[in-house]
Chains A and B, each alone.
Chain A
Amino acid sequence: MMEEDFKDDLEEKSEDKFSITTENLSVYFNEKPAIKDINLKVRNKSVTAIIGPSGCGKSTYLRSLNMMHELTPSATVYGSIKINNIDIEEFGVINLRKKVGMVFQKPNPFPTLSIYENVTSGLIYTGNYKKSRLDDIVEKCLTASGLWKEVKDRLKVSAMTLSGGQQQRLCIARTIAVNPDIILMDEPTSALDPISTTNIEELVYNLKKEYTIIIVTHNMQQAARVSDHTAFFYLGRLVEYSKTRTIFTNPKEKLTEEYVTGKFG
């Protein structure tokens, strides 16, 4: 029954339900395919998890969404990526990245900047800000990332004084300060301890009211906890994409079932 629901859902005509659509997306590194022909529609204002064993192309997929592959000369991207029905090529790389924020595997605050400067860096260095509003933005973003109470008295100290979990939340605050529509998270908790992980997961849950979130994780429990939909990648291909509950309780593909039950991976 549930599966039926989902089918209807996918076939719904109103396109504004989806904020990202990729069609036949393939990425090659030095002529070798890392992902092949990925067709995926990501829903607006929800959390989509991408799971799969390491080397299956999860991160590669994620990084193609904000054109991070541009940095790697050996990478070539084929197929189309549309955000709100506009091809990402039309945005231009800078505007695209403002619209599609990214949180990385290891917390990477700018080491020479203070906490305050880290949050505002995306605004200041793109030259798109009003000085009078910066204080408000910093408070708003740090509150949203659950860091405000912990750091409000030491905004001017170096970001490197924070713990790993705090640094990661700072990176999230930095990302939402630019006011993106979509946030990509590339295994955001894999470098963190369990308590920090819980904090981040709660944060993800809260953020989906305002943002579309795609989270790559190798931790199946995490996907089950935080996401609404889950895509399972294997060897560079999309095996199954469904509601999270379906993937974990009643998967269609044998491969998916074997993976979520821990038979390989």
Chain B
Amino acid sequence: MTPQQIFESLKSRFGEAVLEAKIDAFPDPWIRVAPAKLREICLYLRDDGEMLFDVLMCLSGMDYRAGKLGVVYHCDSTAKHHRIVLKTEFTDADPHVASVESVWKTANWHEREAFDLYGIVFDGHPDLRRILMPDDWRGFPMRKDYQVPEFYNGMKVPY
């Protein structure tokens, strides 16, 4: 299916939750969706006979500056040989998005990484804890406004 068809199909099924699409974006066309409906949309993308997006290639946390966070999903279909990019945005005051761990198991660690580095909370994730940083780290290092702490557990950080 072309990205345009995928967008129209999602739009007719999920209506308001599918916000916009940039089909002419070079090189990867993307569709922006609402964070709350994300799991339903992904489940549909995975299971529908026309879509069959069986692989989640990549899940990236994003900080778009000015308090805007986001998550980008790159989905691929090994059966149908098409791919699509889903984007979702929210504010850092309410950094919640539905987890897709139950759709693609690979999202488990990717979501933990996005939680760890960006402070994005994935609702419905079974084991959301830090993965790369130490368990007692404070703050979210990949945020654009992150300040490197002077001390970590009473030890001076040498930078």
Our verdict on whether A and B bind, yes or no, reads no
**B interface residues with partner A (beta carbon < 8 Å):** none
